[in-house]
Amino acid sequence: MIRVEHLAKTFGSLNVLRDVSAEIARGEVISVIGPSGTGKSTFLRCLNLLEQPTGGAIFVDGKDMLDPATDVTRVRQRMNMVFQGFNLFSHLTVLENLTLAPTRLKRIPRAELEAKALELLRLVGLGEKAHSFPDELSGGQKQRVAIARCLAMDPEVILFDEPTSALDPTMVSEVLSVIRNLAREGMTMIIVTHEMDFARDVSSRVFYMDEGVIYEQGPPAQIFDNPQREKTRVFINRVRSYQAEVVSPDFDLYHLNGELERFFDKHALDAMMRGRVLLLVEELLQQYKPGLHQAPLTLRVEFGEQSRRISIVLSTSAAAARPLDAEAAAEDFSLAIIRNLCESIASGVEGDQQVIRLLLNSA
Ligand code: ADP
Ligand code: MG
């Protein structure tokens, strides 16, 4: 239904969207997640032409949206947007907020428009508020009115830009429930959100945006449980890390341990996990000591706030690396300790570096 090809958007010298490509089928629910400032809002705003893209193409049902002959008003009606800040007219009643745009755009008798508006208000649970003014409503109610107003335009796609970010936490769920119901009825939606549990259970696919592109996309199970790329993983697991460069075989282990203790304090790690990390680090450095004559070693301890798991990532030039994950002599006691402390040990190559990732046992 929607095909985006190499979409680009710059603001002056700021390259916000570099190269965004995506295809979205009718009935799909796409959640767009990612750190703030990565162009999620800009992406939505380009889709319905609130921003003019500086490059690329957007097709809806095969029709070129950036063709100058395209009726922009019609595009916005087909891909209608719900904003973080509701954007209701405070001098109009709830009902009038719903009928305003359709009255202007379509030649439909007023009574019919009002009947439909009332029906939509009932759909979002606000039938009794038809004659109230927005200021008499709570944030959650206002946002539900904004969703009903969006539906009043008979959109084929709804674009939500952080629909719950401006809400008091107690009102988030009533708005998310309304969006869930729309998903169940087959509405095509693109939702920028920070509500990860919601994104996980409502979406058919998740787009993780970073660096001006859709950096990783996939079904929720992939993005949330098994992200394939580094930045996605760091974002999803809210990974905090401590990194040290070990440059010689005579490194100061006491200093390193002191730094690690500070990192553990900051993240309230229990004594057992601390002990394991310190032991593992010591044994790893022992393994790598011969290699340190040739090349320095980067050691990173990562702690996932979400998963509460710890990983240790080592990188060094391939020549200095040790085959921790290969079969090794059974009498290597240090290696046996390392393996016992870890649930998994994986190695890979990044540039000229050998990278070894060790996931600590959690229990
Ligand atoms: P997100 O929604 O992911 O937080 P945005 O799309 O809002 O990110 O913004 C991405 C970047 O583009 C930010 O650095 C923001 O300051 C900038 N930006 C957004 N809109 C404009 C604009 N109209 N003019 C200049 N810069 C903008
Ligand atoms: Mg935004």
Cα–chain center distance at 226:
14
Residue 280 CA to ligand 2 centre (angstroms): 41
Q: Report which protein residue has its CA nearest ligand 1's atom 11.
A: 37
DSSP per-residue letters across 97-117: HHHHHHHHHS---HHHHHHHH
* Ligand found nearest the CA of 40: 1
Which mutation among 7, 16, 207 tests ligand 1's pocket best, with the greatest number of atoms within 8 A of CB?
Answer: 16
Number of residues written out for the chain: 363
Q: What is the pLDDT of residues 274-317, one digit of tens each?
A: 999 999 999 999 888 888 888 899 999 999 888 888 999 999 98
DSSP secondary structure of 287-343 = HHTGGGGTS-EEEEEEEETTT--EEEEEEEEGGG---TTS---TT-HHHHHHHHHEE
Q: What are phi and psi of 128, to 5 degrees?
A: -80, -5
Q: Are 177 and 7 in contact (CB under 8 A)?
A: no
pLDDT tens across the length of the chain (363 residues): 999 999 999 999 999 999 999 999 999 999 999 999 999 999 999 999 999 999 999 999 888 988 888 888 888 889 999 999 888 999 999 999 999 888 877 778 888 889 999 999 999 999 999 999 999 999 999 999 999 999 999 999 999 999 999 888 888 999 999 999 999 999 999 999 999 989 999 999 999 999 999 999 999 999 999 999 989 998 998 888 999 999 988 889 999 999 999 999 998 888 999 999 999 999 999 888 888 888 899 999 999 888 888 999 999 987 777 777 656 556 678 888 998 999 999 888 888 889 999 999 987
Ligand 1 atom with minimal separation from the 42 CA:
6
The residue contributing the CA closest to ligand 1 atom 25 is 11
Q: Which ligand is nearest to the CA of 17?
A: 1
Give per-residue pLDDT as tens, 81-127.
Answer: 999 988 899 999 999 999 988 887 777 888 888 999 999 999 999 99
Which atom of ligand 1 sits closest to the CA of residue 45? Answer: 6
Nearest ligand to residue 37 Cα: 1
Q: What ligand is nearest to the CA atom of residue 33? A: 1
Token pair for 76: 């916005």
Taking the CA of residue 38 as reference, the ligand 1 atom at the shortest distance is 3
The reply to whether ligand 1 has any atom less than 6 angstroms from the CB of 36 is yes
The predicted pLDDT at position 291 comes to 86
Rounded alpha-carbon distances, angstroms, from residue 52 to 67, 186, 188: 11, 29, 23
For atom 24 of ligand 1, the residue with the nearest CA is 11
- What CA–CA distance (Å, rounded) separates 80 from 147? 10
Quote the ligand 1 centre to 240 CA distance (angstroms). 26
Ligand 1 and 13: CB distance under 6 A: no
Question: Could you tell me the distance, in angstroms and rounded to a whole number, from the CA of residue 117 to the centre of ligand 2?
Answer: 29
Cα(157) to centroid(ligand 1), Å: 23
